[in-house]
Amino acid sequence: MKEKKEKDSHVKNEKSNMAIPNAKKEKSKTKLLAKDTREKLSKAKTKIEFENVDTLPIVSNMNKPAIKKHGKLANIAKPKLKIIPLGGMNEIGKNITVFEYENEIIVVDCGLAFPEDEMLGVDLVIPDITYLERNKEKIKAVVITHGHEDHIGSIPYLLKKINVPIYGTKLTLGLIKAKLVEHNLDKKAKLKCVNAGESVKFGKFKVEFIKVTHSIADSVALAITTPVGVVLHTGDFKVDYTPIDGQYMDFQRLAELGKEGVTLLMSDSTNVQRPGHTMSESSVGKEFDRIFSNCTKRIIVATFASNIHRMQQIINSAVKFKRKVAVVGRSMLNVMSVAQELGYLNAPEGTIIDIDKINIYNPEQLVIITTGSQGEPMAALSRMSAGEHKKVQVTPDDLVIFSSSPIPGNEKSVGRVTDELEKLGAEVIYNQLADVHVSGHACQEELKLMLSLIKPKYFMPVHGEYRFLKQHGEIAVSLGTPKENIFLMENGRTLEIGEDSAKMTTQVPSGIVLVDGLGVGDVGNIVLRDRQLLSENGMIIIVVSLDRKTAKVVSGPDIVTRGFVYVRESESLMEEIKEIAKKELEKCEQENIREWSTIKSNLRDTLIHYIYGKTKRQPMILPILMDVDLDKLKK
């Protein structure tokens, strides 16, 4: 027995010597440390598991906290804040941003964009909220910065799928409620009113509403306190030292946040390409006074429906020079009624009259405020310029003021409306001729002021096309922000921020959803392509009746065209097309082709080649095959 024990001991020593070579003595130190740790902890009162304790990392890494994961020890991964813009990046409008931490989400803004020229028939463009639908149980609230369409326009479409509380200031919620009434959602929605200066807590998020100046009242920036630091979202803003409503931007609070430390600044980039400062809104009022004082004509002012400060200044000038004010345009009427009801728009009694009563006043006694400053085809001013408006006819006794600047892409539409108005004899004043408009967005010097006040660790320019975001990032670099701490995001891309790090990571579903009439999302790229094709080259329909059993031609083919050629002057071409179609049908019959899909495809391909060769056009070709039961007809 003694010999056996010595032998076993010798074998164990050999194995031990094999496991710990002389070149790796550090590992034995680690084992001794693990053994010592086990002995000390076993004496403690708390019961602790020691599975796989020998797999502890080497001494140089043992200062990191560790947890057991799948039977092994791993470093603790602290949760990170995820910021995911689903709209508003590399584009103007459609602003919506997701803030996610662990199992909680808040959404900032939920706007829309207006369709581009090639989006034929489309009314609105809204963001793809697939990611929010997949995570709807995490969403605590939607927080709104202000009441412009590019920030609130998609809320009804969101609430139809995800019913969450909406937080905003009084005017913002008033405008949202008016939209919800149209969609029959006003009783279902939960609207929570918050004043500037107040804070609301949503789980691990705390959102503070900070007063900023913009082209609409009740605009706020958002200071979002998270477990990894404070994120400041400016919303849309400008620096206006003489605001119309006397509500000044809260520079003191912004400076305090900058002193306390802001992890990430998200700042408006819409006007980043303009140097200097944005003029005060009050400067427009002085220009209105000058124009009104010297005018004996009826004055028609076109402006943005949501610009309540501009409407207030038009009313002020009208009162000063003893004019009555009439309002035209559905959106303008909606905003004005909400603003008056909530006390954001003031007019002496009797100043505002119904549009039906304008004919009882002389031209020099009237001001008409209208929509259509962007040349929208169905807006009131566009219909006036075309002589199609039921209430207002433009004459040489009219002075038309465009109190706006064209949104990029709308220049041609605005120019066309201006030309039509001048053809009718009206005098037209626009931004290049007089100071009748100022922007609601910060120019370069104001953006520099915001960056200097906040002094963020990381910076994300928002609200603008790529060149805007890039230039805003360059301004931040010039003010001392490290280039590696600036993130030019794109829609759907995730920015993950930890206590000591920030990086762009995964991509989530994002994009656009097209609204056409009552249809939401049922118009896509294929439908738009077909509409484009129809608008450019028209359509040819080939109607053929076939025997149900044999697929032989019973009657036809008959040719119907729309938007291709004027048929009465192209009868020979129509006959040729008819003959080509007939030959192709005979060919299918000879080759015993009975599959209707194949017959249609052959007809389409043959006619496409023939018509393009004859006309160099590519109309949409639509074969229609109708089956006829000859046996039944004979009976």
Write out the catalytic residue numbers: 268, 441
Nearest to 257, CA basis, from 233, 227, 236: 233
CB 346 within 8 A of CB 318: no
Query: CB-based contacts of 414: which residues, under 8 Å, 6+ apart?
Result: 373, 374, 375, 402, 406, 430
Q: What DSSP line would sit under 222-256, residue for residue?
A: EEEEETTEEEEE--S-B--SS-TT-----HHHHHH
How far is residue 236's CA from residue 268's CA, in Å, rounded to a whole number? Answer: 6
CB 627 within 8 A of CB 548: yes
How far is residue 99's CA from residue 227's CA, in Å, rounded to a whole number? Answer: 12
**Strand pairing partners for 562?**
539
Nearest to 150, CA basis, from 264, 267, 306: 306
How far is residue 578's CA from residue 575's CA, in Å, rounded to a whole number? Answer: 5
Give the full edge-to-edge strand order of the sheet including 139-143.
191-193, 166-168, 139-143, 104-108, 96-101, 81-87, 493-497, 502-507
Reduced to 3 states (helix: H, G, I; strand: E, B; else coil), residue 464 is: strand
User: 24-34 b/e with 16+ CB inside 10 Å = b?
Assistant: eeeeeebeeeb
CB 101 within 8 A of CB 81: yes
CB 104 within 8 A of CB 203: yes
